[in-house]
Structure 1
């Protein structure tokens, strides 16, 4: 698996030790190979479950749970919830979801969320590469040189296209129910929210879907909101950025 180097990377960027980098790359390559090889939802769920067991519980998955002792019920709940097959995600309730596309992606979306909620998700070097690796198996398209930071929230994933050299900062919401296309070189600031659906004011069950396209080199400021139907032209700036006073 080729790890693309962002165009704006600098030689002095923080870097893990050679031993750690080798282990990180081997793990990412293993996951990339497994998700390339296996598309059946049940098998992907097993892969994710086994990885999360070791990340959260520090031991391989195996053996039967003791279901008779009430003192072990919390541990059993944790163990069972690490398996994507036992998890309900909000997107699964939406009527417009494409169940055929969603099924093989659900385990990966759970992995995305749980990786970021673990100590591993705070490892900047590893996290950037993990999300890009996983994104290539989730998104409709993933370009090169993409940087996705901690805590980015996805809805379906399969309606999301990200072109080259895009930077998505921490805590961004990408609600791709109607489709989102992010053009080359776009920067989306921390905690910005992009929505491709809208509700009727008098009926919250009445949802309209409208694809969003963010033009090349556009800038979406931190905490800015892009609503369904809003057009973001190339090089446009949405929201306010900190600037030097003159």
Structure 2
């Protein structure tokens, strides 16, 4: 039993290494797309991954049509990540679904899934923490740290993120 667990850990470590060291730096957007599908990521057509992304557990990530993932974006699918249609995730944004329980003596992992609604815009260097839902058409400003759900068509910014404005409802 220990051997099986050890071999499984080696397998997932190799997948992590291949995706984040090689695949994320391939010069072809289409090739990156097909390799991520091969590793179990649920991708709709017309999803663009720009170079240098970082993926944790591709099997836990679902991305819908028309999504753009910018350079050096970290997507954590260990507890489940769903990204709606026509979402833009800009340079160096981080989306976590799992972190450590600081009250646990062993610093055990805890978390839950993250959902990002259609037409949302996650600006550069923003951080979304586990268990968050970003509403349809919402904007997370650059550098924001999202600790609570974001209602549809709102603009949030700051640390922790608070509502700083509202986005017009249009046919985006």
So what's the TM-score if we normalise by structure 2?
0.70
Bigger Rg, which one: 1
Deviation per CA, 1:180-239: give whole Å up to 9, x if none. 011111100000000001322233622212011111111000000010122100111011
Unaligned runs of 5+ in 2: 144-172
Show CA shifts across 1:12-54 (max 9, x none): xxxxxxxxxxxxxxxxxxxxxxxxxxxxxxxxxxxxxxxxxxx
Q: Distance in 2 between matches of 1:107 and 1:201?
A: 29
**Structure 1 or 2: more helix by fraction:** 1
Aligned Cα RMSD in Å?
Answer: 2.6
Q: Who is 2:112 aligned against?
A: 210
1:61 corresponds to: none
Look up the match of 2:154: none
Question: CA, structure 1 residues 233+110, in 2 after alignment: closer, same or farther (shift >3 Å)?
Answer: same
How many correspondences in the alignment? 137
Report the Cα distance in structure 2 between the residues aligned to 1:187 and 1:109, rounded to whole angstroms: 24
Aligned to 1:158, the other structure's residue is in SS state: helix
1:67-113 C-alpha deviation (Å, 9 max, x unpaired): xxxxxxxxxxxxxxxxxxxxxxxxx99xxxxx49x94x655543323
Match of 1:223 among 111, 117, 125: 125
Higher share of residues assigned strand? 2
Runs of 4+, deviation exceeding 6 Å: none
